[in-house]
Structure 1
Amino acid sequence: MAKSTGTQLAAAARTEFGKGAARRIRRAHQIPAVVYGHGQEPLHVTLPGHETMLLIKNPNALVDLQLDGGATQLAVVKAIQVDPVRRAIEHVDLVVVRRGERIEVQVPVRTTGEAAPQTVVSVESGTLAVTAEATHLPEVIEVDVEGLQAGTLITAGDVKLPQGVELAVDAEAGVVNVSAAPTAEELDAELAEAEAEAGIEKDAPEDEAAEGAEASEGGEESSKE
């Protein structure tokens, strides 16, 4: 799926800078942002908090910025800074684009379908670098794994891209790997190895503990005799 038009978003010029100013902006339910690209001077703005949060749920979101209620500027969300604890958006970077311009973006990879039984599907690369027209950027790249057998590796060159989208990475790069599911014995061995590395000692099973206790009692009786 691709977008052909941007989401309208009001942007107000920002004249205050620094951590204190940024905190005041966020307390007012707004988000600090910067708009740059095409040789223009970086433009520092504030964006409406709620609308921006909804917008960035879509990767590579296309935005029609309305600057101080006047001219509009087409831009793409480039980077998002998020507070690691509160998970609140702290800052957004937007890159100026033009209609008809091709740009490179990282698009999330999502698998569809079910691989063969007793297999595990691993996404080797969570995103795929592609180029596309700025107003038709794909939101996700789907990779079909229906019925694939263990040992199958899907490379970037194997991925079916939407019309007008071109690969921007090595075609031999791995994207999705289908491998054999581990057996119960292999899982137990991995768990035991991990516990040993962590220094975890497991209690002996009840039957082994009982045998040990009986042996101990027998030794005591022998010593009494």
Structure 2
Amino acid sequence: MANVTLDATARVETGKGAARKIRQAGNIPSVIYGHGREPQSLTTNARETERLIKSIAVSSTVIELNIDGKTARTLIREIQRHPFKRSILHIDFQELVAGETVSVKCPIVYIGTPEGVRLEGGILDQIMHELHIQVDPASIPNHIDVDISGVKLGKSLHVADLKLPAGIKVLDDATATVCVVQPPKVQEEKADGAAEPELIRKPKPDDK
């Protein structure tokens, strides 16, 4: 499980006007919510937050928020961005409670080379790049390893085929295709004996 830290400050002012001033000061308005607590408005430094978000798997990384000296373990649930500038406008943090499972999207890491690729020249098509799972916050994996070394040509791997660590429940459809080994692409060749097209042009006066 990946853990990172981020400093945050509680704020009282709310509304569009207050949020605009917060952004002009180089900060990001945000909120933290969770079981057993009232939603609390916060601010985080825009530069530090952007740098952090670029370095992590946002949907599955636990962020320890240092809120005015108190620590809260959280997951980012929503990031709102400016439609053109792509700067962060607002962030929703969910506080994690030990013993209560949460749903996260976890990256898939494919392990090995499929048999159909090694022996028959097939092409691996990675359909899914993450899994939607339900897990205890203390057991959130950094990624899900998927062994594809035994997948043969023309065969596929489905969610139901995956072997996952204990305590992890997959929320994706069990019949969903994770990856497939496609047959190699065959280039069309000209038929044997086919004549080349004749180039017809008007002769120039100086042609002999």
**Match status 1:13 vs 2:10:** yes
**Match status 1:44 vs 2:41:** yes
| Counterpart contact for 2:151–2:157, Cα < 8 Å | no
Q: Which amino acid aligns with 1:119?
A: G
Work out which of the two has the higher radius of gyration on C-alpha atoms and give 1 or 2: 1
Deviation (angstroms), 1:154? 0.9
| Counterpart contact for 2:64–2:72, Cα < 8 Å | yes
Q: Which residue of 2 aligns with 1:130?
A: 133
Q: Which residue of 1 aligns with 2:193?
A: none
Say which structure is richer in helix: 1
Q: Which residue of 2 aligns with 1:62?
A: 62
Distance in 1 between the 2:187 and 2:30 partners? 51
Cα separation, partners in 2 of 1:45 and 1:104, compared to 1, 3 Å = same
Deviation (angstroms), 1:147? 5.3
Distance in 2 between the 1:49 and 1:175 partners? 36
Deviation (angstroms), 1:94? 1.1
Distance in 2 between the 1:172 and 1:91 partners? 36
Segments ≥4 residues shifted beyond 4 Å: none
- The percent of aligned pairs where both chains have the same amino acid is 31
Per-residue deviation, residues 131-189 of structure 1 (Å, max 9, x unmatched): 11112211221222225322221111222223432222332222112211322239xxx
Aligned length, in residue pairs: 191
Q: Give me the TM-score of the superposition, normalised by structure 1.
A: 0.71
Q: Which amino acid aligns with 1:64?
A: E
Q: Which residue of 2 aligns with 1:108?
A: 107
Q: Which residue of 1 aligns with 2:94?
A: 95
Distance in 2 between the 1:183 and 1:147 partners? 24
Distance in 2 between the 1:123 and 1:84 partners? 29
Q: Give me the TM-score of the superposition, normalised by structure 2.
A: 0.76
Selected match of 2:181 from 178, 181, 200: 178
**Match status 1:150 vs 2:153:** yes
**Match status 1:213 vs 2:191:** no
Deviation (angstroms), 1:23? 4.6
Q: Which residues of structure 2 form unaligned runs of 5+?
A: 190-195
Per-residue deviation, residues 49-90 of structure 1 (Å, max 9, x unmatched): 3432343322322122222x1432221111223345444333
Q: Which residues of structure 1 form unaligned runs of 5+?
A: 187-206, 219-225
Distance in 2 between the 1:79 and 1:40 partners? 18
| More moved, 107-116 vs 127-136 | 107-116
| Counterpart contact for 1:33–1:94, Cα < 8 Å | yes
Q: Give the aligned CA root-mean-square deviation in angstroms.
A: 2.9
Q: Which residue of 1 aligns with 2:192?
A: none
Cα separation, partners in 2 of 1:84 and 1:139, compared to 1, 3 Å = farther
